[in-house]
């Protein structure tokens, strides 16, 4: 029995080390989050769900806002809708990931009804959160390379077959590049229909939630101690807009009030159809370049002229 346990332990260690070595070399292809937890502490963040995960590109922020008074480079610490929910755990993870000496960071927070909703398994009074068992919320060590904690806790997120397809890539700056873009209208329509189905399901099962709005306020107040905070609502197609409006009719009023209370900017770009999505929900990597550039221009305009309206993009 003792020999068996020794062999089992040795095998487990070898398997863990081998997995970590593969992740160090190919992690961007086979796991969409791993690299977020192997990079150093950061000064500036993009936060939110898959809309900002794919749609706001750090390298563009770095180029557009270079020498503009922000501590760069930018890091995309967004996740997908399964993990991304504003609450105490997300805030704590940002604190762990942030360089504590940051004074002039830039924090772009993507907001929409879904990242501020109460989900089926949430029981706030008893400290139960649906996202608790998902990264980044279940991670204590967020700057370790290789990160054995991630491998042990989140092994189910590894997709070895994705290494051969390479349809998506997580870049070292935290941005997810989706390469498998539809090339025909039939696929595009199918993907859109799937998104409608997913979010209609959310609308039936989830509830609008003051608790998460309060948690977002607390995150903003923490981040304001380290730099500039910007709230942004990203564009989606008309059908998804309709689903969101029916789910939380006064959402924009709630966020506008929050922005005013915390003295931060809110750029509501939900209905701007200038940027192409590949599924009605996510701006593709080409539209993401234009969106990120325009967002940076808004940030600069607001920084230089605090009283300009937030509702319109700068004219070209």
Kindly report, residue by residue over 35-68, the tens digit of the pLDDT: 999 999 999 999 999 999 999 999 999 999 999 9
Domain that holds residue 299: 27-304
Q: How many CA atoms lie within 13 A of 175 on its CB side?
A: 22
Q: Are 60 and 292 in contact (CB under 8 A)?
A: yes
- Residue 146, preceding peptide bond in cis (omega within 30° of 0): yes
Question: In angstroms, rounded to a whole number, what is the distance separating the alpha carbons of residues 206 and 203?
Answer: 6
Residue 1 lies in a domain: no
Residue 263 lies in a domain: yes
Q: What's the mean pLDDT when you consider all of the chain?
A: 88
Q: Is 134 exposed, middle or buried (0-12, 13-18, 19+ CB in 10 A)?
A: buried
> Interhelix angle for 88-97 vs 210-224, to 10°?
20
Question: What pLDDT, on the 0 to 100 scale, is given for residue 231?
Answer: 98
Question: What pLDDT, on the 0 to 100 scale, is given for residue 315?
Answer: 44
Residue 162 lies in a domain: yes
Question: In angstroms, rounded to a whole number, what is the distance separating the alpha carbons of residues 177 and 285?
Answer: 7
Residue 257 lies in a domain: yes
pTM: 0.89
Q: How many independent structural domains does the chain possess?
A: 1
Residue 313 lies in a domain: no
Overall size of the chain counted in residues: 316
Question: In angstroms, rounded to a whole number, what is the distance separating the alpha carbons of residues 170 and 177?
Answer: 6
Question: In angstroms, rounded to a whole number, what is the distance separating the alpha carbons of residues 221 and 216?
Answer: 9
Question: What pLDDT, on the 0 to 100 scale, is given for residue 304?
Answer: 80
Residue 12 lies in a domain: no
Question: What pLDDT, on the 0 to 100 scale, is given for residue 117?
Answer: 98
Residue 18 lies in a domain: no
What does the pLDDT look like over 287-308, one tens digit per residue? 999 999 999 999 999 888 766 5
Question: What pLDDT, on the 0 to 100 scale, is given for residue 196?
Answer: 97
Cα 67 versus chain centre, distance: 25
Cα 181 versus chain centre, distance: 20
CATH code where residue 227 lies: 3.40.50.1110
Beta strands in 20-66 (DSSP E): 44-47
Question: What pLDDT, on the 0 to 100 scale, is given for residue 274?
Answer: 86
Question: What pLDDT, on the 0 to 100 scale, is given for residue 18?
Answer: 56
Question: What pLDDT, on the 0 to 100 scale, is given for residue 316?
Answer: 41
Residue 9 lies in a domain: no
List, for the chain, all residue ranges whose pLDDT scores fall below the cut of 50.
4, 8, 162-164, 311-316
Q: How many CA atoms lie within 13 A of 17 on its CB side?
A: 6
């Amino acid at each position: 029995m003792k020999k068996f346990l020794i062999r089992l332990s040795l095998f487990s260690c070898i398997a863990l080390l081998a997995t970590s070595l593969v992740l160090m070399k190919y992690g961007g292809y086979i796991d969409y989050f791993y690299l977020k937890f192997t990079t150093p502490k950061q000064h500036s963040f993009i936060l939110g769900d898959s809309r900002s995960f794919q749609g706001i590109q750090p390298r563009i922020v770095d180029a557009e806002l270079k020498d503009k008074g922000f501590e760069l480079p930018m890091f995309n610490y967004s996740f997908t809708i399964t993990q991304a929910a504003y609450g105490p755990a997300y805030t704590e993870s940002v604190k762990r990931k942030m360089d504590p000496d940051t004074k002039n960071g830039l924090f772009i927070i993507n907001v929409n009804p879904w990242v501020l909703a109460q989900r089926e398994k949430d029981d706030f009074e008893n400290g139960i959160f649906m996202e608790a068992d998902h990264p980044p919320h279940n991670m204590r060590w967020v700057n370790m390379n290789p990160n054995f904690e991630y491998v042990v806790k989140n092994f189910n997120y590894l997709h070895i077959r994705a290494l051969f397809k390479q349809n998506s890539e997580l870049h070292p700056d935290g941005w997810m590049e989706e390469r498998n873009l539809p090339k025909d209208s039939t696929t595009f329509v199918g993907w859109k229909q799937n998104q409608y189905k997913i979010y209609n399901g959310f609308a039936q099962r989830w509830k609008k939630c003051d608790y998460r709005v309060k948690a977002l306020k607390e995150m903003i107040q923490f981040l304001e101690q380290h730099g500039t905070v910007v709230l942004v609502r990203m564009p989606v197609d008309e059908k998804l807009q309709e689903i969101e409006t029916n789910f939380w009719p006064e959402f924009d009023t709630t966020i506008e009030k929050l922005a005013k209370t915390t003295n931060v900017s809110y750029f509501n770009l939900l209905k701007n159809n200038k940027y192409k999505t590949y599924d009605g929900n996510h701006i593709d990597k080409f539209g993401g370049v234009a969106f990120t550039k325009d967002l940076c221009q808004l940030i600069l305009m607001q920084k230089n002229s605090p009283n300009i309206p937030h509702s319109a993009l700068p004219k070209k």
